[in-house]
């Protein structure tokens, strides 16, 4: 079975490489040459366009920055819609607005193709080692056709509901992650300003109720001042914007998310938007005139 993969960025490149290593025959496309060359060296066939990938593949995976990019790749000139045929499946693993996922499903259904949304969580490290958490929205019978494929890239693969449910779940995930990072930042800035070693505070609390995957993933990097991107602030802003838009549309107030969004926007104004989202602590450091290091 030939698999198409469109979008070879920070996340897509290692995900596609894992499929190659698992023995899948891949057709890839990206506007950037370097990852395409790397995938070609790993054995993938290079497509000339999204249309080309759709023509050559039975299942087409997309991993793109946001809703407009997915819409363009599916419905734009030389897009998937021009090359896909009945019986094929598009698996969009981008993190986008749930309503756009539903829109793409309707468009593809008109030509007999299926669509599922399958956004991921875990960042670049888990994309590399194939242990992403994958949240899937779609028909159970379509999910069953792609589950084995998704399990190559994910440590957990869960069908959560109909099309759009995957991205709704991802928005919930991103709210929890953002608020966790803000809480860690606020607490550790307090501890440091009070003269307590933040590294010792981290070790003292990580085994208790305040411990979390987010704390263990981000605190060691914060202590080093290492904000090289695993997941960029600008991408988390995008996710929180989708969360706020969706929440407003359905009447679900999310005031804490709004607050963290403004913190991220303040960092963007200071040119920090390409830092890892763990770099959110820099906002608190600026306010307290102190650095949290250890």
- What residues are annotated to the active site? 170
Residues 6 or more apart from 35 whose CB is under 8 A from it?
A: 8, 9, 12, 13
Six-digit token string for 9? 């960025």
Task: Write phi, then psi, for 27 (nearest 5 degrees).
Answer: -120, 125
The closest of 168, 170, 178, 116 to 147, measured between CA atoms, is: 116
The CA-to-CA distance between both ends of the chain, in Å, stands at 50
* Helix/strand/coil for 123: helix
Report how far residue 224's alpha carbon sits from residue 76's, in angstroms, rounded to the nearest whole number.
Answer: 44
The closest of 83, 194, 98 to 138, measured between CA atoms, is: 98
CB 132 within 8 A of CB 153: yes
Report how far residue 214's alpha carbon sits from residue 293's, in angstroms, rounded to the nearest whole number.
Answer: 17
Q: What residue ranges in 87-213 does DSSP mark as E strands?
A: 89-92, 114-117, 120-121, 132-137, 154-161
Report how far residue 195's alpha carbon sits from residue 231's, in angstroms, rounded to the nearest whole number.
Answer: 30
> Running DSSP on this structure, what letter comes out for residue 129?
H
Report how far residue 159's alpha carbon sits from residue 83's, in angstroms, rounded to the nearest whole number.
Answer: 27
């Amino acid at each position: 079975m030939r698999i198409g993969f469109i979008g070879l960025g920070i996340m897509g490149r290692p995900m596609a490489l894992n499929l190659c290593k698992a023995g899948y025959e891949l057709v890839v496309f990206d506007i950037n040459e370097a990852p395409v060359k790397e995938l070609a060296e790993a054995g993938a066939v290079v497509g000339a366009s999204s249309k080309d990938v759709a023509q050559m593949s039975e299942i087409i995976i997309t991993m793109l920055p946001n809703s407009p990019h997915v819409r363009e790749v599916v419905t734009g000139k030389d897009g998937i819609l021009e090359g896909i045929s009945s019986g094929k499946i598009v698996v969009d693993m981008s993190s986008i607005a749930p309503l756009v996922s539903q829109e793409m499903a309707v468009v593809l259904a008109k030509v007999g193709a299926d669509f599922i949304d399958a956004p991921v969580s875990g960042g670049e490290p888990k994309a590399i080692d194939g242990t992403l958490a994958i949240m899937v929205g779609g028909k159970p019978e379509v999910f069953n056709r792609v589950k084995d494929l998704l399990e190559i890239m994910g440590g957990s693969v869960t069908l959560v509901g109909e099309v759009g449910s995957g991205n709704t779940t991802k928005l919930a995930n991103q709210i929890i992650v953002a608020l966790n990072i803000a809480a860690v930042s606020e607490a550790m800035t307090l501890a440091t300003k009070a003269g307590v070693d933040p590294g010792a505070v981290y070790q003292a609390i990580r085994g208790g109720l305040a411990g979390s995957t987010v704390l263990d993933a981000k605190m060691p990097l914060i202590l080093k001042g290492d904000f090289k991107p695993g997941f960029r602030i600008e991408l988390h802003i995008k996710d929180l914007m989708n969360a706020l838009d969706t929440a407003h549309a359905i009447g679900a107030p999310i005031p804490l998310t709004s607050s963290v969004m403004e913190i991220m926007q303040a960092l963007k104004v200071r040119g920090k938007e390409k830092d890892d989202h763990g770099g959110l602590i820099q906002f608190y450091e600026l306010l307290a005139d102190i650095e949290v290091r250890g």
